[in-house]
């Protein structure tokens, strides 16, 4: 079978879709499939709209040859949908974040929660965002199927995008085997995030700058580095913190679990049912709640209790299993 992967980013760029594309490619190639990867992000210097047309023409030969198209990027989902329908190809979209919500929050600075965005803010969209919304709705309704990593995101999208007649599948994110964990030399909380407003970085910085928090000895680590280097740094860290306004399936937390590192996570997430017994959860709009959880975890006895809980978490979901699940979806659509 010939598989085309359409992604927005690819290593050495950092992000979930990049790792997803690279690992799916590696697994499928090892299994004997013919795999082609097309990267939409390489056309980002071309003006919006024009880049979509250029990318459409760029992927057409690969679409014609493909038996199965797996799209990992919301911005190019419409392009791959048009191309796949034109040549009657099976095309599934594996969702990641929410591109429209991210665009809106970064443009306006309106720190609205992801789960509230579609209920309360659609009337405030810019022209570009309105076009993005309607194109995205058309694409989601006209794909062969949608793959969600969490039921949480699926439930948020169902009504605004009118997806009751679409085919839906849940394929959980990658939960890898445990990796080497080292004792931290300082009480650093890793919060490596892109400088986007929905990640709530400024709130974290203000919390960690408070006198009581500084006195506890904890520090905030926000440096962004390539994933392999990041895993090494995380394995020697004290803890991980993600306090974003909505995080569907945060890879940083999954890496923390692999490293047996305690974590503080926004309660606005899609992983809760899987990891509810091993983490600390905060209201991202409540700095006091974030501060209290950080101070609680700064105490060694509390820290050790959380570490033991995470050490006992042994669930895995390998790239091989993920790749097989996506192949099985092809067989049913």
Give 185: exposed, middle or buried? Use CB within 10 Å, 0-12, 13-18, 19+.
exposed
At residue 159, the pLDDT reads 97
> Which single residue is written with the structure tokens 């950080």?
294
Q: Is the peptide bond before 12 cis (omega within 30 degrees of 0)?
A: yes
User: What is the Cα–Cα distance from 69 to 79, expressed in whole angstroms?
Assistant: 12
User: What is the Cα–Cα distance from 150 to 268, expressed in whole angstroms?
Assistant: 12
At residue 96, the pLDDT reads 83
Sorted by where each begins, the domain ranges of the chain are 2-174+318-332, 187-311
At residue 233, the pLDDT reads 87
Kindly state the tokens that stand for 78. 């419409």
Phi/psi of residue 33, nearest 5 degrees:
-80, 155
- SS3 track for 230-282: HHHHHHCCCEEEECCCCECCCHHHHHHHHCCCCEEEECCECCHHHHCCCCEEE
At residue 249, the pLDDT reads 93
Reduce the DSSP state of residue 70 to 3 states and report it: strand
For the chain, which residues score pLDDT lower than 70? none
Is 321:176 a contact under the CB 8 Å cutoff? no
Same CATH fold, 187-311 and 2-174+318-332?
yes
CATH architecture of 187-311: 3-Layer(aba) Sandwich (3.40)
At residue 16, the pLDDT reads 82
Q: What is the DSSP code (8-state) at residue 185? A: S
Phi/psi of residue 34, nearest 5 degrees:
-90, 120
- Provide long-range contacts, Cβ within 8 A and 24+ apart, for 104-110: 104/129, 105/196, 105/197, 105/198, 105/245, 106/196, 106/197, 106/198, 109/197
Is 290:142 a contact under the CB 8 Å cutoff? no
CB atoms within 10 A of CB 273: 9
Largest CA distance in the chain: 63
Q: How far apart are the first and last CA of the chain?
A: 15
**Closest by CA position to 80, among listed 132, 29, 131, 144:** 144
Q: What is the DSSP code (8-state) at residue 35? A: E
Measured CA distances, 183 to 180, 188, 238 (Å): 10, 11, 7
CATH code for the domain defined by 2-174+318-332: 3.40.50.2000
User: What is the Cα–Cα distance from 96 to 50, expressed in whole angstroms?
Assistant: 24
User: What is the Cα–Cα distance from 215 to 199, expressed in whole angstroms?
Assistant: 25
Give the DSSP letter string of 274-312: HHTTT-EEE-TT-HHHHHHHHHHHHSHHHHHHHHHHHHT
At residue 207, the pLDDT reads 97
Q: pTM, whole model, 2 decimals?
A: 0.91
Q: Please write the tens of the pLDDT for every residue from 15-63.
A: 788 899 999 999 999 999 999 999 999 998 999 889 999 999 999 999 9
Q: What is the DSSP code (8-state) at residue 32? A: T
Is 326:24 a contact under the CB 8 Å cutoff? yes
> Which single residue is written with the structure tokens 């990640």?
199
């Amino acid at each position: 079978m010939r598989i085309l992967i359409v992604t927005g980013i690819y290593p050495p760029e950092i992000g979930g879709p990049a790792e997803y594309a690279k690992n799916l490619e590696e697994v499928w190639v090892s299994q004997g499939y013919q795999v082609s990867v097309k990267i939409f992000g390489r056309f980002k210097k071309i003006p919006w709209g024009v880049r979509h047309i250029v990318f459409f023409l760029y992927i057409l030969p690969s679409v014609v040859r493909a038996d199965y198209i797996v799209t990992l990027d919301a911005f190019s989902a419409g392009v791959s949908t048009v191309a796949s329908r034109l040549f009657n190809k099976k095309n599934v979209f594996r969702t990641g974040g929410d591109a429209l919500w991210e665009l809106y929050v970064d443009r306006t600075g309106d720190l609205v929660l992801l789960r509230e965005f579609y209920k309360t803010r659609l009337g405030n969209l810019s022209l570009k965002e309105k076009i993005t919304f309607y194109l995205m709705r058309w694409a989601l309704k006209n794909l062969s199927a949608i793959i969600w990593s969490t039921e949480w995101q699926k439930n948020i999208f169902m009504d605004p995008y009118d997806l009751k007649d679409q085919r839906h599948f849940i394929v959980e994110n990658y939960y890898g085997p445990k990796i080497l964990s080292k004792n931290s030399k300082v009480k650093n909380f890793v919060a490596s995030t892109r400088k986007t407003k929905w990640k709530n970085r400024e709130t974290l910085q203000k919390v960690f700058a408070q006198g009581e928090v500084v006195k506890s000895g904890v520090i905030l680590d926000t440096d962004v580095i390539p994933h392999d280097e990041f895993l090494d740094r995380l394995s020697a860290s004290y803890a991980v913190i993600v306090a974003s306004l909505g995080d569907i399936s945060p890879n940083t937390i999954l890496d923390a679990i692999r490293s047996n590192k305690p974590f503080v996570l926004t309660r606005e997430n899609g992983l809760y049912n899987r990891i509810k017994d091993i983490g600390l959860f905060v209201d991202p709009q409540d700095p006091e709640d974030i501060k209290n959880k950080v101070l609680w975890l700064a105490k060694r006895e509390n820290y050790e209790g959380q570490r033991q809980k995470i050490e006992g978490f042994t669930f895995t979901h390998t790239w091989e299993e993920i790749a097989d699940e996506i192949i099985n979806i092809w067989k049913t659509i």
